[in-house]
Structure 1
Amino acid sequence: MKSTIKTTDSSAMVYDHTNSMAVNSKTQYAELGKKRIAYRLIGKGEPIILCNRFRGNLDDWDPKFLDLLAENFKVVTFNYTGLASSSGDKHKKVIDFAKDVKELSEYLGFKKIIVGGWSVGGWVAQIVTTEFPEIVSQTILIGTKPPGNVKHQIEELFMQTAFKPYYDLEDEVILFFDPTSEYSRKLAKESHDRIAIRESDRDIRIDEKDWEVFLNAGEDYTNDPYNAREKIQKTNIPMLVISSQHEICFPPENWMELNMKIRSTQIIIIPQTGHGPQHQYPELVTKYILQFIEHNKQNLLAN
């Protein structure tokens, strides 16, 4: 498969979207009884299902990140039931978001998946891992927090910005990048422009009236009736946590408090980045993911 990355000199990587699978992917629909889940699928290989952030729809993933993942994996992005272009009754508990992943995986004929999640999607991915471990081979968590109560909370600036009806570039810098770093600001603009490339078959915006479903899921995730916090400390499923030095939403310190307790989790903290490191450094984050997955496969074979 032709790479979507072109090297123009020793210091720059230019995104060529001409043959981008992510930009040109078609929205498909999984008919699941009384609900319909909108999804896109690109690439070949072991399937990885990515769970989205607060307010995120199919168009809110950086296509460069998806294209790079698709060089080694079958990448599935989707909308939760009842949100954006998916239909059905909206969820109230995080377990219902996790069931979307399980049902979509079954619909697509996957026996095992790598489950990934960004931000709120990381909550979903962890509940998939703890409640449906039979379908999960590995777990990738980006810019998220562990289940249950945590000591290190979201910064007020994030909350003020996250609930604006529409985001501009400066809002995105605050929410997903490191506003104190000029280099991060530059890469924020590049990611913003890549996300805007897609012109046809664009997804439906998630309306303000639907934001409450994420808040309800957050309350449920914090109350943790699933005992997921204890379960992730005991799971043998390999989990990779990718976080940031300037993580305005879910500080990595919450993971550090579990560092000596979690058996199968590796934590990476990237400097001068924010809540969306995969959008700032798609090549680097993809390499971390690929190396983590391949390393664990080799260990499994060795044992």
Structure 2
Amino acid sequence: MLKQTYTAANVPTEFVESRGRTLAYRSIGAGSPLILCVRFRGVMDVWDPAFLDALATRFRVITFDYTGLGQSTGHATYDRVSMAEDAIDLADALGIDTFAIGGWSLGGIAAQVAAKRHPGRISHMILIGTTPPGKVAHGPEPVFFERALKPVNDLDDETVLFFEPESEKSRKATKASHDRINARTADRSPPIPQETFMRMLTESQKPDIFFDDDGYRDFLKATDIPFLVISGDHEIVFPPANWFDLVDTCPELHLIVLPEMGHGPQHQAPEFCADLIASFVSRIA
């Protein structure tokens, strides 16, 4: 009997018990492991299936819900160490020693924290639409907060938040990605209620978005872990210019800025971004 091959749209949710809470996760593909940390307000079902499926042709792609969010249990928090340890605990529970870690937006902060705390476990970092540690010169555009904190985001909000509304090509990509994400109708992780994400946002506030209280920027300068930063040229949350100062000081930094794209370039160009990541992991050691 042939083993069923799952896609992102139909793979069942699985669960592991770790340190007193249950972590919900999904796994597709059979290559080297890639664990993905999701964005603010995100659960497993905000990832574009086309991006995950394209990655799964080269990796074992693992997505998960942070503790207390979606289908995971425990106390929900946006504390970056807690989110980073979710990824490490999940890897431990699955018997994965070394893996590539990816993160989108807030998840990119979690990925960097995980790499600093457990450098021997991480082979590569993939950072999508996220920020470097410490004080940065370019902050989020006000429109981000106007849209991101609404109780429910509609298609127009998604266009502004994750794509480039001034580009016809990007606007069309919004609808295509939206439809792919919503094609999964069963076994979906519930969205995060407004009162929950607002509480977590308030509790996690620091002087800087990625407050550097533990040498995170120095870690990026000294690490031998290759890391790839993928950003849209109109990134309204974490402008790619904030990475420019690190190009000369971080020998393992690989920075790619994609035109006519916003905060979710992997959703506008899923196969292209997956190809970039696969080439980076396979050829950069």
TM-score by length of 2: 0.95
Alpha carbons 1:20, 1:67 under 8 Å: kept:
no
Distance in 2 (CA, whole Å) between partners of 1:289 and 1:205 is 28
Select which of 236, 239, 258 maps to 1:251: 239
Match runs of 1:150-229 below 5 Å: 150-211=136-197, 212-217=199-204, 219=206, 222-229=210-217
Alpha carbons 2:6, 2:28 under 8 Å: kept:
no
1:103 paired residue number: 89
Distance in 2 (CA, whole Å) between partners of 1:63 and 1:165 is 24
Tell whether 2:273 aligns with 1:290: no
1:222 counterpart letter in structure 2: F
The Cα shift of 1:221 comes to 5.6
2:25 paired residue number: 39
1:136 paired residue number: 122
Alpha carbons 1:50, 1:116 under 8 Å: kept:
yes
Q: Which has the higher contact order (CA 8 A, sep 6+)?
A: 2
Q: Deviations over 1:71-107 (max 9, x none)?
A: 0100000011011211112235211111111110000
Tell whether 2:105 aligns with 1:113: no
Closer/same/farther in 2, CA of residues 218 and 116 from structure 1, 3 Å limit? farther
Distance in 2 (CA, whole Å) between partners of 1:166 and 1:22 is 23
Alpha carbons 2:105, 2:128 under 8 Å: kept:
yes
TM-score by length of 1: 0.89
What residue ranges of structure 2 are gaps of 5+ in the alignment?
none
1:234 paired residue number: 222
Alpha carbons 2:170, 2:261 under 8 Å: kept:
yes
Misfit runs of 4+, over 4 Å = none
Equivalent residues, number: 279
Distance in 1 (CA, whole Å) between partners of 2:29 and 2:237 is 31
The Cα shift of 1:216 comes to 3.8
Alpha carbons 2:127, 2:229 under 8 Å: kept:
yes
User: Could you say what secondary structure the match of 2:246 adopts?
Assistant: coil
Q: Deviations over 1:202-241 (max 9, x none)?
A: 1111111221324544528633222111111110000000
Q: Deviations over 1:262-299 (max 9, x none)?
A: 110100000000000000000110111011111114xx
Tell whether 2:268 aligns with 1:280: yes
